[in-house]
Each structure stands twice: as C-alpha cells, then as structure tokens.
C-alpha cells in the first residue's frame, strides 16, 4: 500500500527471520568484531583474485543464512543480490551455485536497501514467501575498478573512505516468527545531485540524498524524527554524517539523538581509517551482525535503515560528470 509520495507499507508484516555476516580482517579488528558470524584471516581467503574472494563471501552469506533459518534451498523463492563490480559478477556468480531464481540490484553502496525494498514488494504482493537479500564488497576488487590498482600504492585523500571487505545477508519471510524485526515500510529514494565532483569525498555527494529520503519518509508516514530509536545511514563517513545532520536541521529535523552512520562506526577509533568505511557490504554487514542481534535482544525497538550510494563510474568521473547520490529507507520494528 502506497503512503504519501514514495513510501510503501506492506499489508502484512514481513519478518527478517535470519541474517549472516562475514567480514574481512580489517573489519574484524573494528567496533563490531564480536557480532560477526565469520572473520577472514586475510583478504584472499585461498582465492587467486580479490573478485573470486568476494564471490566466495557472497556464497557463504547466502548459504549460511538459509541454514540458520532452518530452511532448504527449495524453500527460497528468490535471491536478490548486488555488489559494486561490473555486471554484478560477485552476486550473480555466487547465485549460480544455488539453482534459485535471482534478481540483481544496483544502487552502489545503497544496494542493500534496494534489495530489502524489492524483496518486501515481492513478498508483500503475495508473489513469494521467502527471499534472500545479499550484498557485499571487497577493498581490493573495488579499488581496482573505481580507483587504482593496489600495487600502485596511491595515497588516500583525508576526505576519502576505506572500502569495506564484507558481505551481509538477510532472509525475509511471510511466515511469522517471534522476536525478530519486521519491515513496516520502505521509502524508495530518488536521485539527488548537488554537483559534487570530488570522487574522494563520497560523503558530501551522498548526504543530500540521505536527507531527502529521511525527510520524505517521515513526512509520508506522518512521524517525527524521535519516533525511531536509531537512524542508521549506510556509509556517509564522519564528514558526510555531519553534512546530513546540517541539511536535516535546516529543514527542521534534529537528528542529534538518533543519527548513526555505519561507515563512521565500523572501524575502531585507533584504526584511523580516514572518514570511515564505505561499500555495498558496509551497512549490509553492520545490519546483519550488530543491528539485527541488538534488535532481537530487545535493545533496539524501532530502527530506520538508510543505505546511501554514490552513482559514479571511472568513466563518468574522467568525463567531468558530477556524482549523484541515492538513498533508500527501510523501517524495522520489534513487535510486542
């Protein structure tokens, strides 16, 4: 059911009955190390290329979330997956092992939000019962595609973010399960372009889209910002988080008490990873580990996930294009 401009409310609750998280070694030394299901000892994981490692991470996340949810592969109606590589090779090559229908999604680092939204539409429309969402990223593979080969040893800018090596999955179901979060609404974001051209400052490019989606969501649902215990954006980083706070404050929304950013939080302070993390695996792995487990434990009741993406390619930047942003919002609640 549509509500307001861009928000959709399912007629029946959609349950997130399980998650799986797998993180790289750098992420494993970060703030949420105790919450991950698996942490890699190195970035190769016995694979010849970083792309193959990312495929293996996706396979792990998909396979284990099905097992943890006490379901079989035949019970899964669809896999909705995404990544940052050309032609979505990480998510699609992983899905070929399962003989399950597959949909590929791309909203850059906001892909996990798009996957959750599309999956909720498929289930909410009565077309499917069980859908797996999975997105991920790998530092080495993404650097090679969007920036420079690691062997070149380029120096990151102070405003840049570190691409997260991680994958996160969630299994959405129409079947009721106690003590798990339910999806209560989804707001599909629109592309917002503030004409930021600095590829080393993704937070500034994505923050306007996050502000637009959050404000649209609150207006569509008719709620104040204090309705949610926490609002988690995807990977704005420290600068981007402050920019988002400023943009929302200008519109009359004070997020000081609830705003968090997964990219700014994922690494420990002593790691000093510039502005924090980014990547399609950033919010996915933080949600599949820390946020999901904290909600199931009753420590968080109402959470708004707002994954954020910068829509650029190596060619678009070289051709002088700006960097548009996009953000989708997914509202989660624990039922009494």
CB 114, CB 134: distance < 8 Å: no
Rounded to two decimals, the pTM is: 0.95
- Predicted confidence at residue 151, as pLDDT, reads 62
pLDDT digits (tens, 9 = 90+) for 256-273: 999 999 999 999 887 766
| More confident position, 104 or 154 | 104
Q: How far apart are CA 310 and CA 140, in angstroms?
A: 18
Which domains occur in the chain, in start order? 12-173 (3.40.47.40), 183-333 (3.40.47.40)
The percentage of the chain sitting over the pLDDT mark of 70, rounded to a whole number, equals 95
| More confident position, 313 or 243 | 243
- Predicted confidence at residue 158, as pLDDT, reads 65
Q: How far apart are CA 213 and CA 221, in angstroms?
A: 12
The predicted model gives 234-252 an average pLDDT of: 95
Could you report how far apart the first and last alpha carbons of the chain are, in Å?
Answer: 23
Q: Which helix (H) or strand (E) holds 54?
A: helix 50-68
pLDDT digits (tens, 9 = 90+) for 25-79: 999 999 999 999 999 999 999 999 999 999 999 999 999 999 999 999 999 999 9
At 172, is the pLDDT very low, low, confident or very high (cuts 50, 70, 90)? very high
At 323, is the pLDDT very low, low, confident or very high (cuts 50, 70, 90)? very high
Pairing of strands 78-82, 102-104: parallel
| Residues forming beta bridges with residue 78, ordered by sequence position | 131
**Per-residue tokens: 95:** 């899905």
Q: How far apart are CA 201 and CA 325, in angstroms?
A: 12
**Per-residue tokens: 199:** 């590829």
Residue with tokens 């890699």: 40
At 162, is the pLDDT very low, low, confident or very high (cuts 50, 70, 90)? confident
**Per-residue tokens: 321:** 């294009």
The predicted model gives 169-185 an average pLDDT of: 97
- Mean residue pLDDT across the chain: 93
- The helix-helix angle for 237-250 and 202-221 (nearest 10°) equals 40
The predicted model gives 74-98 an average pLDDT of: 96
At 140, is the pLDDT very low, low, confident or very high (cuts 50, 70, 90)? confident
Q: Which helix (H) or strand (E) holds 293?
A: helix 292-296
- Predicted confidence at residue 152, as pLDDT, reads 58
- Predicted confidence at residue 173, as pLDDT, reads 98
- Predicted confidence at residue 334, as pLDDT, reads 97
Q: What is the DSSP letter of 70?
A: T
CB 276, CB 161: distance < 8 Å: yes
Calculate Rg over the CA atoms of the chain.
Answer: 18
Stated length of the chain: 336
**Per-residue tokens: 2:** 């549509």
Q: How far apart are CA 310 and CA 134, in angstroms?
A: 19
Spatial neighbors of 326 by CB under 8 A, at least 6 apart, are: 107, 108, 110, 189, 190, 191, 192, 206, 209, 308, 309, 311
- Predicted confidence at residue 145, as pLDDT, reads 73
pLDDT digits (tens, 9 = 90+) for 98-134: 999 999 999 999 999 999 999 999 999 999 999 999 9
Q: Give Cα 38 to chain centroid, integer Å.
A: 18
pLDDT digits (tens, 9 = 90+) for 284-300: 999 999 999 999 999 99
Torsion-angle region of 298 (φ positive above 0: left; ψ -120 to 50: alpha; else: beta) = left
pLDDT at 154 over 80: no
CB 211, CB 248: distance < 8 Å: yes
DSSP 3-state assignment of 193?
coil
């Amino acid at each position: 059911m549509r509500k307001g401009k861009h928000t959709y409310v399912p007629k029946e609750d959609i349950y997130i009955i399980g998650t799986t998280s797998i993180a790289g070694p750098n992420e494993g030394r970060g703030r949420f190390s105790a919450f991950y299901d698996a942490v890699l000892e190195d970035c190769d994981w016995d694979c010849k290329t970083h792309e193959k490692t990312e495929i293996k991470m996706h396979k792990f996340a998909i396979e284990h979330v099905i097992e943890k949810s006490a379901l079989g592969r035949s019970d899964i109606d669809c896999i909705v997956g995404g990544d940052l590589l050309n032609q979505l090779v990480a998510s699609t090559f992983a899905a070929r092992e399962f003989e399950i229908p597959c949909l590929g999604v791309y909203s850059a680092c906001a892909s996990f939000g798009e996957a959750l939204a599309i999956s909720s539409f498929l289930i909410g429309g009565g077309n499917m019962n069980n859908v797996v969402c999975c997105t991920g990223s790998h530092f080495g593979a993404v650097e090679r595609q969007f920036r420079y080969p690691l062997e070149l040893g380029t120096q990151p800018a102070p405003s840049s973010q570190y691409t997260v090596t991680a994958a996160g999955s969630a299994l959405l179901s129409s079947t009721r399960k106690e003590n798990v979060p339910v999806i209560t609404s989804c707001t599909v974001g629109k592309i917002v372009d503030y004409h930021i051209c600095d590829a080393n400052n993704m937070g500034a490019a994505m923050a306007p889209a996050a502000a637009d989606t959050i404000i649209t969501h609150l207006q569509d649902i008719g709620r104040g910002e204090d309705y949610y215990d926490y609002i988690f954006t995807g990977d704005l980083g420290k600068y981007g988080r402050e920019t988002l706070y400023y943009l929302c404050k200008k519109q009359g929304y004070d997020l000081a008490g609830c705003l968090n950013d997964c990219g700014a939080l994922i690494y420990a302070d002593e790691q000093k990873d510039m502005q924090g993390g980014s990547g399609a695996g950033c919010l996915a792995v933080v949600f599949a580990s820390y946020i999901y487990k904290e909600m199931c434990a009753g420590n968080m009741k109402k959470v708004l996930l707002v994954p954020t993406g910068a829509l650029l390619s190596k060619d678009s930047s070289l051709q002088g294009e700006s960097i548009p942003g996009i953000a989708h919002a997914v509202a989660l609640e624990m039922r009494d």
